[in-house]
Amino acid sequence: MPRANFFRHQAYRTSRPSSPHHLIKPGPHPPVDSDQFNRRMLNVGRALREANIAVIYLVHGTFVGVDTLGVLAELARLFPKASKAVRRVIKHVVDQITGDVGNYTGGYAACFESAINPPGEPAIPVRRFHWSSENHHIGRADGTVRLVYELGTLRLRPGQRVLLWGHSHAGNVFALMTNLLSGNREAISRFFEAAEIYYQWPLVGCVDIPIWTRVRELLLTDRPPLADAPPDIVTFGTPIRYGWESAGYNQLLHFVNHRPHEGVPEYRAPFPPELNDVMQAADGDYVQQLGIAGTNIMPSVFAWRSRMAENRLNRLLQPDLPEVDPLAHFQAGAIVPDEGTTLLVDYGPSEGSIARHYAGHAVYTNKSWLLFHAEEVVRRFYNSP
């Protein structure tokens, strides 16, 4: 997207994407914790240190977070300390149930961190960032605000950078974030005005989610977070939704599980998908293909302020899309974003039932693909051989 994007939503077109994309079929890779895996991951770590990466954040997608139904968001208005404790417990339970199926676990982060940090070298921490994982605009907007706050607390030395990895709709959290990090005061003000009823009581003006006002003030200062070093961003299976603001990131790379379908251009997904193909993830990642505009789940009617903020954000984030038949969005089969470089990766046949591969959407968070992803990132971002 061009600079001064103003949160413009990406259009769904059948024409060839304007951004570069590449078809990739990975070769054999060594098992996790094997000598070859460890040796190659140490090379990844070396490339990251040479690129001045200070920290890596892993961000999960929808439905595996701490507040999928938005209940804790309402609890936090009255009992913020209690809600923090409950969030930690819920995320632990979710991790135990889902494991690495479409989810970045503590074990994944620990494996990543230990593999890139040899003794005696400056360590690059690999952290997990949690957001509610609600499937609507205000849920992703709240995740964006909290992520900006997290990054704003980092004490980076001159030249240091942050590397963000996001699965599924975490990529759309990142897309919103690039619009906030752009330094465009008009765009920032529009965003916070649209969501104001979510974090501030109408009429009385009482703020009951103070992190929103803190971040707004932080972004409107003369030196907003990461102004000198925008983050490097990698997304995995992110459905095409919000437009990216070019001034709000340094480098951008997308991984999409995709196998070209006969008679369909390699940059598009077939529509409608066959049920048997979905059950076997025959064409790749069906969640990435179908989790586009029109698939939001509205906040509960009891969370009336969230519901009103959702409607106002909808007018800001996708004002033109309701005028088009939503079915046309799916028929376009768009899987390549207009911004960044996209790798259309044939990960091979999916193993197990749909509960294990999530219709091709779970492959990205499996540790067995960590080396492949890490090597591609340092090769394309940091010119590592």
Model pLDDT, residue 101: 59
Per-residue pLDDT tens digits for 196-230 = 999 999 887 899 999 999 999 999 988 888 888 99
90: tokens are 């819920």
Amino acid at 288: Q
Domain ranges across the chain: 21-382
Per-residue pLDDT tens digits for 21-45 = 999 999 888 999 999 999 999 999 9
Alpha carbon distance 57, 129 (integer Å) = 6
Model pLDDT, residue 64: 61
Alpha carbon distance 259, 23 (integer Å) = 9
Model pLDDT, residue 143: 96
Alpha carbon distance 179, 8 (integer Å) = 9
Per-residue pLDDT tens digits for 138-188 = 999 999 999 999 999 998 999 999 999 999 999 999 999 999 999 899 999
Cβ(237)–Cβ(256) below 8 Å? yes
CA atoms within 13 A on the CB side of 188: 21
- Which H helix or E strand runs over 161? strand 161-167
Alpha carbon distance 70, 297 (integer Å) = 11
Model pLDDT, residue 358: 85
Cβ(286)–Cβ(278) below 8 Å? yes
The CA–CA distances, whole Å, from 53 to 125, 157, 299 equal 10, 11, 37
Q: Look up the pTM and report it.
A: 0.90
- Helices (H) and strands (E) in the chain — how many of each? 15, 7
CA 88 to chain centre: 20
Model pLDDT, residue 97: 46
